[in-house]
A = this chain, B = another copy of it.
């Protein structure tokens, strides 16, 4: 047990919010002036907490514990979406700082080793999860060549900020035993049932599939209904039939979305000759995703055989695989949640992506969620209750203490 300082936690969150503040939200994309200023401030707060702090060679703000022994890395990312909320990423970053700080202040825990981190460019301003990739040694040339919307390459953003010869921060398997990240849920599941903590079990996998319908473009007046091969009608039919099939295989964690549909040529007086449907689906179970993709392909074959419109599927066969959290870390989060929110927490997958998608391939990961008001995120109106913010940090601190207490010495 260790007690975090809720007042200090909220003060630091609001201080971080001031970097790039815009309306109720924050505009602090990675490698911007605001982002780099925030990282300088973060390292100063880490240093005040007794951590060996620096901005590393790719821009991560890092506070290394002065202690030896098994080390937990705790944090999140401090960059934001182009028009982001004040808690996405920032919450987990200040939690990392507060947990490391509170542990060092308490005589019962000051021997425990926690590194605090603020990853850079999780939000894909240039590439995705740039900071955690560099930490894991998997940042590739194609990432460095990726550009932001203004056309600047990641490599140039790093050079512009004079980061290249900074001290590196790398995964040290003789030292690091796990990574813990707290985050706002970014969805409405906790709020809907009145729960206060989510013990994240996985990050869902994602498949994206494009379906093309090939009919015969024709005059909307002179072509009788029974002689039409209407690609648009086939698309509507496919979507309706697929919803039934998806519903039959889905679990409560499954989501699917028809994000776009295009009819060609898209004119009032022309029977569409071509149509295109975009489907995306997410679930923690990769086999279920494969089953859903198989349903899409089977339905395309059936409708092509029925005619008159041909249906073909271009599948993102590999997609993004689900990311599994460490069972031990899930359990530590769950036990701490039961202590501070008895009966009001649940295990749940994350439906959004996070740095553990990279890190979990190299180090056991755990995550916890606190409720998002109205489930809103990636928006200026993103917010969470102060009591929920403080409770989440206390749960994380206790999970860290338990994890390090049970870690091999």
Interface residues of A, Cβ cutoff 8 Å to B: 185-189, 192, 204, 206, 208, 219-225, 227, 230, 232-233, 235-237, 239-240, 243, 250, 252, 254-263, 266-272, 278, 280, 282, 351-353, 375, 377-378
Contact = CB atoms under 8 A, between A and B. Distances in A.
Given A232-B258, A240-B237, A258-B232, A189 B224 contact: yes
A206 to B, nearest CB: 7
A369 B373 CA distance: 66
Contacts of A269: 257, 259, 280
| Secondary structure type dominating chain A contacts | mixed
A260 B258 contact: no
Nearest to A281: B220
A222 B377 contact: yes
A124 to B, nearest CB: 12
Given A237-B240, A280-B268, A375-B222, A227 B188 contact: yes
Contact of A221 (B206, B261, B268): B206
Contacts of A232: 258-259, 261
Closest 8 CB pairs of A and B: A187-B222, A221-B351, A220-B257, A260-B266, A236-B239, A222-B351, A259-B268, A186-B222
Nearest to A189: B224
B268 A278 contact: yes
A192 B226 CA distance: 11
A119 to B, nearest CB: 20
Contacts of A188: 222-224, 227
A208 B236 CA distance: 19
B352 A219 contact: yes
Given A192-B227, A220-B257, A224-B255, 8 more contacts: A186-B222, A220-B255, A220-B282, A221-B282, A236-B236, A257-B268, A259-B267, A268-B280
Nearest to A275: B261
Contacts of A237: 240
A259 B254 CA distance: 32
A192 B224 CA distance: 10
A220 B23 CA distance: 25
Contacts of A257: 220, 230, 268-271
Contacts of A186: 219, 222
A36 to B, nearest CB: 28
A278 to B, nearest CB: 5
Contacts of A351: 219, 221-223
A232 B237 CA distance: 13
A393 B217 CA distance: 31
A261 B260 contact: no
Given A236-B236, A236-B239, A223 B187 contact: yes
Given A187-B223, A227-B375, A375-B222, A260 B268 contact: yes
